[in-house]
Structure 1
């Protein structure tokens, strides 16, 4: 009898003890390289989208802009000269005083100078964009982590050499995992309750939003090395993503805050009470300080 109750409990209201707050983290990679002249943020400082994170020395970039603007002026003068000569050649050809070949030459020069100006203007736009990109800004609301940059540090455009991580706070999800047997009845939309060690005495509600039915243990990649088969039973868990109803609380919880989570499936409602009791006991024992 007791075994049947436990089996039904684990089936209809499974509990996971590895729930944690998860957020998107991206490496901040500048679009231009250079030496830093200013770092505007500190570790874990809250910033809004568009706020300055750090400033790359802009000195080399205005020189390129000035050079291209001067080049456009020169090309514009040549373009005007080609236009005048083309009109003159057309008049002479109309009067039978010049050959069609001469007119064709000036038409080609005029078209070439038009294209040259367009190409230089495109290069100028890119130079202006690079100048603007010397100011590296926050891509969203959030905070930078691992801020070890200082004025004088050199940053590059290589993704593998990112010197700063940025944590998004616009969305905060709860990530947990269940065994492949416990997850059979879980589906998006199922009710969830979560308790966090950091917030003892409280139980928070939410819903399942996604089930990641894939694991790294079964991932195949193109390789000349054969995949080993050990014969060891596969006990991989599948990830489950949950969104709390209280989004304000989710935004306040720190990255990685852990707790316990119960999913209430659409069957076996009488057994849900067991998980509810267990979670509330966990919420109150959260007041105890672990070493």
Structure 2
């Protein structure tokens, strides 16, 4: 008889334990629903591959690997000597063309004045011819009536022919003077091209000095002064430390309700007791699927069917608010909890 109460007590204890487990499970599920979290997350930041825009030998390397730098700080200098010579050559070409334009402008002014004088001579010759023709026309009927001598009529005709010849000569001189006027437009076009080359030479000389485009940390630096830098080939990498993110890979079932602007807590594995606040910035639009890809221009469909379907994970970008610099390293493991 004494075993019955103990059995009943054991059953009651088991029932209470199961009820507690169920209640605890519902509480955990509710908390996970209210505060989605993932341990599949890491620290990320923008990087700058510092490749020079001009080629040359590095004469000054002002930084070391893993050194922190500030925006505008000197990083390295490429030998400026050949670019200085190119700048001087471009400047000399601009000065020479400007001098030619000044000389030719003075000559053009003189040529224009001469052409104006020749045009005036044409007008004078026209007036002389008109007067000679009028005199001849007036004397011709008078000579037929005997009122004017033959010598006077012949002299009027000679004056008319002379005026015609003078007019033709004046016209030819005016055309020649007009054609002699040289334009400075070709020289001005050459000057504009030379000035463009001068500005390019100034830019190239300025680009021999490379400065930090942002606050950051130098990494992957394994050269020294004397190395030849090639245009477009990175010398080293700069990690932008002005903005840091956490990239959290949430399951697709957790994405419902995640919207930009939500507050987030990030726990770095290096110091889990020191939470970092952040703001959910954006949700990834998609990842490459394991199935449904193409090969050779045709869809690739596997023959087998996986009956266990695992939820896909999508990256969520979280911007960190004033993160501690000693914990900020690209790729560092973190745990992300969305405070929804």
TM-score by length of 2: 0.69
In the alignment, what sits opposite 1:70? Answer: 92
Q: What is the SS of the residue equivalent to 1:26?
A: strand
- Alignment partner for residue 132 of structure 1, among 206, 226, 229? 206
Match in the other structure for 1:14: 36
8 Å Cα contact 2:114-2:177 kept in structure 1: no
Aligned match of 2:336 in 240, 261, 267? Answer: 261
Measured in 1, the distance between the counterparts of 2:244 and 2:110 equals 70
State the partner residue of 2:125. none
The whole-number CA distance in structure 2 between the counterparts of 1:59 and 1:112 is 33
**C-alpha offsets along residues 207-261 of structure 1, whole Å, 9 cap, x if unaligned?**
312212222338x99996445233665743111122334x152686233332211
- 8 Å CA contact 1:11–1:185 kept in 2: the answer is no
Does 2:320 match 1:244?
A: yes
Partner of 2:143: none
Q: For 2:52 and 2:242, how far apart are their aligned partners in 1?
A: 22
Q: Does 1:153 align with 2:175?
A: no
Change (3 A) 1:41 1:221: farther
Q: Distance in 2 between matches of 1:21 and 1:66?
A: 49
Answer whether contact 1:205 1:244 (CA < 8 A) is retained: yes
The equivalent of 1:201 in structure 2 is 273
Matched, 1:217 2:292: no
Bigger helix fraction: 2
Residues 24-69 of structure 1 show CA distances to partners (whole Å, capped at 9, x for unaligned) of 0021111101111121100121111111111111121111111112
**Pair 1:32 & 2:54 matched:** yes
Contact 2:42 2:331 in 1 (8 A): yes
Contact 2:111–2:180 (CA<8 Å) still a contact in 1? no
Partner of 1:192: 264
- Unaligned runs of at least 5 residues, structure 1: 266-291
Question: Is 1:46 the equivalent of 2:68?
Answer: yes
- Could you tell me which of 94, 107, 110 is aligned with 1:88? 110
Residue 244 of structure 2 corresponds to residue 172 of structure 1: yes
Contact preservation (8 Å) 2:287, 2:314:
yes
How big is the shift at 1:6?
A: 4.7
- The 3 A distance-change label for structure 1 pair 134 and 199 is same
Gaps of 5+ in 2: 1-21, 120-172
Conserved? CA contact 1:28–1:162, under 8 Å: yes
Shift of 1:125: 1.0
Distance 1:44 1:258 in 2: 20
Q: Distance in 2 between matches of 1:8 and 1:169?
A: 37
Superposition deviation, residue 178 in structure 1? 0.2
